[in-house]
Amino acid sequence: MERVAIIGAAMTQFGQREGEWITDLLAEAGIDCLEDAGVDANDVEHLYVSNMTSGEFEGQTGVMNALVHDIGAIPAYTKRVDQTSASGGAGIYAAWQSIESGASDMTLLVGGEKMTHRSTSETTDIIASVTHPVEYNAGVTLPSFAGLTARRYLERFDAPRESLGKVAVKNHKNGVDNPHAQFRKEVDLETVLESPIVADPLRLYDFCPITDGSAALLFCPESVAREYTDDYAVVTGVDGATDTQVVHEREEPTVMNGVVESGRGAYEMSGLGPADIDVAELHDMFTILEFLQMEGLGFAEQGAAWKRVEDGDTERDTGELPTNTSGGLKSKGHPLGASGVAQGVEIYEQLVGEAGPRQVDADAGLCCNVGGFGNCVITTIMEAAQ
């Protein structure tokens, strides 16, 4: 079987996109991605849209059908893929399957979400609807899970509160060099640690913002990729796995089984291990999640991720494992369905040498996209073709 290649990538400006619909954002990223790859819309065979909530946020469904029309790709087959905040990762997995199964020789994946036009309380409620009914009806929100988990982590592993803050400082610093990031400003540790409490011990700067935006990737078999370019990336590992959706049933909340299992599958498929990964995009919806993913993916022993962050190992220009070079969800923003695709965009750009001032030296990269509070996680490993 041929390997699955990625030959193009694009993302819109992330942030507040007033006066634009979800369909506008999806079309912008989709068209830019095709242009980036030099592929005509007529050559797209499948077009997948990663999106969680166009119906809830905008009262508009069928956005994938609008997109295939708007970019001129009819009669390409289309569907929407939803895995809550990991819809983008689920889209990557679906696009990979479409190529690997022979169903399509050219699959465009576009992830996007339009969120900022709703109030914060409405938005929080829509996002909280991903939790199990048992917990949703008890009034639980994702930030509350994050606060509880952070407290448990800090106490269990005797980690300093500052270590969480350093994740935010690092990712904001990286975001300055990402022209598409929602926030392009550095923050210092003091600002993070003194920002308003959201879910104790987590504060405002421990959380990603609410964001509008879209991102896209173009997939094809490696033989087709070579017709277009020599600089492409290859998806060599991808897997997804669930953990119980009822978070209070988990044995140990600081261990994310979905991360562990999906990582195991992706490593096995690629033949690589944690030490082979040169750059990683982790799902830092909350700072604590970056620690939990580093540990679940074998980048640190359990309870030791905070030390690697403190030691500077995840810094972009000087670290052994540059992490969230894009700025992460923290500073780049988190338009739900777009985020997993945008992680892929960053790794693709790093592998083909198009990351500009964020460029690191990388032959292999990894994305980890987390749905809900670790309910379902997709891990993807990409390698440079050359």
Q: Say whether residue 75 binds a second copy (CB under 8 A).
A: yes
Cβ atoms of 104 and 97 closer than 8 Å:
no
* Element (DSSP H or E) covering residue 220: strand 213-221
- Sketch the per residue contact string, 124 through 153, with a second copy: x for CB under 8 A, - otherwise: --x--xxxxx--x-----------------
Under DSSP, is residue 260 helix (H, G, I), strand (E, B) or coil?
Answer: helix
Encode burial over 1-19: b for 16+ CB neighbours within 10 A, e otherwise.
eeebbbbbbbbbbbbbbee
Query: Which of 225, 228, 216 is closest to 349 using CA atoms?
Result: 216
In the 3-class helix/strand/coil scheme, how is 147-190 assigned residue by residue? HHHHHHHHHHCCCCHHHHHHHHHHHHHHHCCCCCCCCCCCCCHH
Binding-site member from 138, 189, 197, 246 for a second copy (CB under 8 A): 246
- Give backbone dihedrals phi and psi of 255, rounded to 5 degrees, phi first: -110, 120
Nearer of residues 260 and 321 to a second copy, judged by Cβ: 260
Cβ burial of 20 (10 Å; 0-12, 13-18, 19+) is middle
Binding-site member from 8, 201, 371, 385 for a second copy (CB under 8 A): 371
As measured in angstroms, the least distance from the Cβ of 42 to a second copy is 13
Cβ burial of 361 (10 Å; 0-12, 13-18, 19+) is exposed
CA distances from 316 to 298, 299, 307, 328 (A): 19, 15, 16, 12
Cβ burial of 119 (10 Å; 0-12, 13-18, 19+) is exposed
Nearer of residues 246 and 275 to a second copy, judged by Cβ: 246
C-alpha span between 260 and 315 (Å, rounded): 23
C-alpha span between 240 and 32 (Å, rounded): 28
Taking every pair of Cα atoms in the chain, the longest distance, rounded to a whole number of angstroms, is 57
Select from 28-36, 48-56, 204-212, 313-321 the region that touches a second copy (CB under 8 A): 48-56
Nearer of residues 73 and 352 to a second copy, judged by Cβ: 73
Nearer of residues 136 and 228 to a second copy, judged by Cβ: 136
Q: Within 10 Å of residue 40's Cβ, how many Cβ atoms? A: 12
Q: Looking at residues 338 to 367 of the shown chain, list those that interact with a second copy (rule: CB under 8 A).
A: none
Number of residues lying near a second copy (CB under 8 A): 62
Binding-site member from 35, 69, 194, 252 for a second copy (CB under 8 A): 69
Binding-site member from 35, 40, 42, 74 for a second copy (CB under 8 A): 74
Select from 30-38, 144-152, 171-179, 253-261 the region that touches a second copy (CB under 8 A): 253-261
As measured in angstroms, the least distance from the Cβ of 2 to a second copy is 11
Q: Say whether residue 255 binds a second copy (CB under 8 A).
A: no
Q: Say whether residue 23 binds a second copy (CB under 8 A).
A: yes
Binding-site member from 29, 31, 41, 68 for a second copy (CB under 8 A): 68
Encode burial over 240-262: b for 16+ CB neighbours within 10 A, e otherwise.
bbbbebebeebeebbebbbbbbb
Q: Looking at residues 81 to 110 of the shown chain, list those that interact with a second copy (rule: CB under 8 A).
A: 81-84, 90, 93-94, 96-98, 100-103
Q: Looking at residues 179 to 208 of the shown chain, list those that interact with a second copy (rule: CB under 8 A).
A: none
Q: Say whether residue 18 binds a second copy (CB under 8 A).
A: no
As measured in angstroms, the least distance from the Cβ of 252 to a second copy is 15
Cβ atoms of 105 and 7 closer than 8 Å:
no
- Sketch the per residue contact string, 110 through 129, with a second copy: x for CB under 8 A, - otherwise: ----------------x--x
Nearer of residues 77 and 228 to a second copy, judged by Cβ: 77
Query: Which of 209, 289, 262 is closest to 89 using CA atoms?
Result: 262
As measured in angstroms, the least distance from the Cβ of 371 to a second copy is 7
Which residues bind to a second copy, rule: CB under 8 A?
1, 21, 23, 52-53, 55-56, 59-62, 64-66, 68-69, 73-84, 90, 93-94, 96-98, 100-103, 126, 129-133, 136, 239-246, 257-258, 261-262, 371-372, 375-376, 378
